[in-house]
Amino acid sequence: TNTGILRYAQNDTAQRFFSNLLSLPQGHPMPKVRVRFAPSPTGYVHVGNARTALFNWLFARHHGGVFALRIEDTDVERSKEEYERQLLEDLRWFGLDWDEGPDKGGPYGPYRQSERRALYSEYAAKLIAQGDAYYCFCSAEQLEAERQEELKAGRQPRYSGRCRKLDAEEAARRKTAGEPAAVRLKILESSFFWNDLVHGPTVFSSEVIGDPILVRSEGNPAYNYAVVIDDHQMEITHVIRGDDHISNTPRQLAVYRALGWEPPEFAHLSTILGADRTRLSKRHGATSMESFREMGILPEALRNYLALLGWSPADGKTEILSPSELVAQFSLDHITKSPAVFDNDKLHWLNRHY
Ligand code: GLU
């Protein structure tokens, strides 16, 4: 069928594109796509997150890959079971099914970060032992005072690296004696580079990055650390997420480097703006999945609408795409890096169609 040929052609192009990128010999099969949606259960699912989930799902389904759901609940104070329940319900209503996740398990589980603490401690210990991380005894007050100093001097605040200079044995003794200590990564590189699948070649100078915290003094792993351990261990091939995470990527690349792991591909999706061109938020009215459902928006309409928020099919003009057309045509090549403006009228127009 035409769709069959189209799908084959797109797969072929995609394979060539990725094998060039990974410098694999031509004709080498693309590694099986594994992507994840990794929400934090700290509130109701916002359209921005729904679009991230949708793009990951479309990419996985287009390539016959795996879509995993991972719950990032290391922020114990803000994470709630109720939000996790609602999240799963919203995704099901939205029509996205996952192959691995907290409710169904899978070969790389557990799929809740709160249940993966042993893994985070293990690698933190390894990084300290190999000299790539160190204990930091600076108190919150000390750090805040330093921050204020930097701001006053008109500099971008970053950790001074005071505890990096401590003798490792002495630091280990203090830690064993019960002194509260965070674990920090030593940033050794002067800059970070990756070829973003949406933004193209991206470079960050380390000057803006202090040694990042991997594990906080009370034992909670930091997002930038846990995410790397999990993405690597779950064999994620493509990290597709909002561009609010672009500045986190260099910190994550530093963790990959320290552990000697190959980073995945990164694709950072543009910000969604309201009609007034400011970041879409509650001020703009309904932005949670739940509120759209209550408003009578159909999941097919929302899926079609959100797919077009930053992506367009190869012909650049088709607006009505059935679920199977979306899967057949989806490709990271046609994602725009400019911010997408949320258009309620268009959503309602699509809803009337469905
Ligand atoms: N928990 C993060 C978030 O919800 C995940 C970001 C990522 O995909 O790496 O923003």
pLDDT in tens, 74-92: 988 899 999 999 999 999 9
Query: For 221-226, what is the mean pLDDT?
Result: 97
d(CA 236, CA 18): 15
Q: Is 241 in the pocket of ligand 1 (CB under 6 A)?
A: yes
Catalytic residue among 282, 317, 337, 346: 282
Query: For 277-306, what is the mean pLDDT?
Result: 92
- Identify the helix (H) or strand (E) that includes residue 11: helix 2-21
Burial 216-243 (b: 16+ CB within 10 A, else e): bbeebbbbbbbbbbbbbebebbbbbbbb
The contacts of residue 115 (CB under 8 Å, 6+ apart) are none
Q: How far is the CA of 333 from the centre of ligand 1 (A)?
A: 22
Active-site residue 346, yes or no? no
Q: Is 35 in the pocket of ligand 1 (CB under 6 A)?
A: no
Q: How far is the CA of 316 from the centre of ligand 1 (A)?
A: 29
Least confident window among 17-31, 91-105, 268-282: 17-31
pLDDT surpasses 80 at 65: yes
Q: How far is the CA of 167 from the centre of ligand 1 (A)?
A: 35
Neighbours of 154 (CB within 10 A): 6
What pLDDT is attached to residue 27?
54
pLDDT surpasses 60 at 25: no
What pLDDT is attached to residue 29?
65
Beta bridge partners of 2: none
Q: Is 72 in the pocket of ligand 1 (CB under 6 A)?
A: yes
- Residue pLDDT, tens place only, 173-187: 999 999 999 999 999
Contact 327, 62 (CB under 8 A): yes
Contact 14, 30 (CB under 8 A): yes
Expressed in percent and rounded to 5, the helix, strand and coil fractions of the chain are: 45, 15, 40
What pLDDT is attached to residue 333?
93
Least Cα distance to 226 among 114, 134, 145, 311 occurs for 114
Whose alpha carbon is nearest atom 5 of ligand 1? 38
Contact 108, 235 (CB under 8 A): yes
